[in-house]
Structure 1
Amino acid sequence: MSKVLIVAEHLDGKLNASTAKCVSAAQALNPEAIDVVVLAAEPAAVAAEAAQIAGVAKVLAVANAANANAVAQVLAPQVAKLATEYTHVFGPSTTFGKDLMPCVAALLGVAQVSDVMAVEGSHVFKRPIYAGNAIVTVEAPAGHAVVATVRAASWPEAARGGNAGIEPITVDAALPAHTRFVGLAAGKSDRPDLQSARRVVSGGRGVGSKENFRIIYDLADKLGAAVGASRAAVDAGYVPNELQVGQTGKIIAPELYVAVGISGAIQHLTGIKDAGTIVAINKDGEAPIFEVADIGLVGDLFKLLPELEAALAG
């Protein structure tokens, strides 16, 4: 029987929703047990959140001052040490997971399975390739631990209501001295996090300028949405790259995605293919974005967006 260890993603004492999505993926294995490990300087609050996820058998709380910041080279030896008791080790396919899990796989001497979107068997998975245009079935070698990242956009959050036990543990692993945390440069915003937001408003090259991008922020504020952008908008300097949605940005699955002035290049569509409802606003009625949109508005965004905002205000 499979036994799964999930590495919890957290920031500022709060558990990221991607952890509950990893639990959903793990449940597809019908495992004997699903445990979650929380590595932090003070893991109590995050561990308590993780314990509430339905399906979790046990939460391992690893308190270590070295874990105050998510440095992959520091966390990986600890995860690899714990992994000897498990058949599978899952992490989210987010910036955190993409940084950490390859290090874990390397320490265990196995190949990582990336972006798991479906489970076919204990060692057989489906994942997207070619910017999501094809789905490939991959099989990990039997007899070795499976280290995988879970495509968060393809899995729902596991339900809450669990009551797993929390076990404080110490991991005896040699931590590297050559890697250290220097600082975190992150934009501050009252808006929802782009990776986990239920509503997202994104702007593209059609917005025209950094100054004009204010119209995207205004609509997002009206909707209580996160703000995203196409690669073209990021490359043009309209917004910072942490807002980029797409194959080389963030893969998201909001309930509502509003694409404003975005033509719909394949690399962008890869990032939103699992969205619930897609609304496209573009003056070019032949833009590829309309082929995937559930609702399309052809027209001048600078005329349509103020009308939308007025309707929302009313």
Structure 2
Amino acid sequence: MSVLIFIDQSEGHIKKSSFEALSYGAKLAEQLGVSAEAIVLGKLSDDLAALGKYGVKKIHHAAADSLNGFDAQVYAKVIGDAAKTVNASVLVFSNNVNGKAIAPRVSARLKAGLVSGAIALPDTSNGFVVKKGVFSGKAFANVAVNTPVKIIALNPNSYQARAGEGSAEVVALNADVPSPKVKITATNKITGQVPLSEAELVISGGRGLKGPENWGMIEELAKLLGAATACSRAVADAHWRPHHEHVGQTGGSIAPNLYFAVGISGAIQHLAGVNRSKVIVVINKDPEAPFFKAADYGIVGDAFEVMPKVIAAVKKLKGVA
């Protein structure tokens, strides 16, 4: 028996959320008294053996060229087959964009119970009970999984990656890769921008900026910090910013290490998309703005007065003229 952890990667580099999943899966394997193994698909630049420091003992690597491009159906087939081969009793995914696409498909293939959005290790004292957030994180549910094979999709930023010492055995996986039903003919990349779904730092603006002509301060701070930019629904609906930058209940859901909100009141619909951020900083001139209740740090003040000071302080810290 084993716990099998999916390592998500992009362009040959392992995503941060995968380190959290590895630590979580390794701890779960220890809890269950089974081995911790992992699987990664596609060509990688990172050192796989070094991932042993997160507690995983063996890594199955399917490096076929046909796996370099993400295809949820193909990935689900390969991972499902591998799970049967290693006799996995639990599979762990990160509940990110790719994990949300793969985990349900693997669940259907293996007839496995799936808990998406897990935030803690399962309680195995009496069965297998997984805690997850519900109602946009306002409440919690304890979900009992009774199937022989179980799948957990771990919310990013809900379990700390813990690195120690050790090296993992890397095993080549000769996967039976099915022909994809969708063929990618071309990929156009937007250079110079951090993908919002993968960003560790996000600078976001709302209607308090008064117009798209004032967005320069958001972009300047984002560039200084190497952050992605985002916006509230009101901004996207007003066509100040493209809709792919909209975060919230009806937009994207993100989990950066830092979410820096400028001129956003913090309606519950917006909080639903950002409440998994590790640290939230809010700048708003309204001291009664609901966002302050969710913020770790808050500045009551006019964005047009505060932001230039923040930018100047960051420049000084970084030694930028």
TM class by shorter chain equals 0.7 to 0.9
SS at 2:48's partner residue? helix
- Matches of 1:86 and 1:23 in 2, distance apart? 15
Residue aligned with 2:293, SS:
helix
Q: CA deviation at 1:154?
A: 0.7
The total of aligned residue pairs comes to: 307
| Equivalent runs, 1:50-129 vs 2, <5 Å | 51-84=51-84, 85-122=87-124, 123-129=128-134
2:135 equivalent in structure 1? 130
- Indicate which of 170, 173, 176 corresponds to 1:166: 170
**Whole-angstrom distance in 2 between the partners of 1:185 and 1:117:** 35
1:8 matched residue in structure 2 = 7
Specify the code of the residue in structure 1 equivalent to 2:176. D
CA drift at 1:275: 3.6
| CA distance, structure 2, for counterparts of residue 117 and residue 135 of structure 1 | 9
**Identity over aligned residues, as a percent?**
33
> Hey, what's the Cα distance between the residues in 1 that align with 2:152 and 2:296?
32
RMSD value, Cα: 2.4
State the alpha-carbon separation in 1 of the partners of residues 207 and 113 from structure 2: 38
Q: Which amino acid aligns with 1:163?
A: S
Structure 1 residue runs of 5 or longer lacking an equivalent are none
Q: Assess if the C-alpha contact under 8 Å between 1:38 and 1:47 holds in 2.
A: no
Corresponding residue of 1:234: 236
Unaligned runs of 5+ in 2: 317-321
**Deviation per CA, 1:224-267, whole angstroms, max 9, x where unpaired?**
4332322333333333344333344133141x432101111123
Q: 2:35 corresponds to which residue? A: 33
**What are the Cα deviations for residues 28-64 of structure 1, in whole angstroms up to 9, with x where unaligned?**
4224221111111x34x34626634420111101122
Distance 1:262 1:108 in 2: 44
Contact 2:54 2:161 survives alignment (8 Å): no
User: Take 1:49 and 1:231, find their aligned partners in 2: how far apart are those partners?
Assistant: 43
Letter in 2 for 1:117: I
- As a proportion of its length, which structure holds more helix? 2
Displacement after TM superposition at 1:188 (Å)? 2.4
Which of residues 169, 173, 181 in structure 2 aligns to 1:178? 181
Q: Distance in 2 between matches of 1:68 and 1:133?
A: 38
Shift of 1:120: 2.9
CA shift for structure 1 position 109: 2.1
TM-score, with normalisation over the residues of structure 2?
A: 0.86
Deviations 1:82-124 (A, max 9, x none): 1121001111111111111111111112342101111233421
Greater alpha carbon shift after TM alignment, 178-187 vs 72-81: 178-187
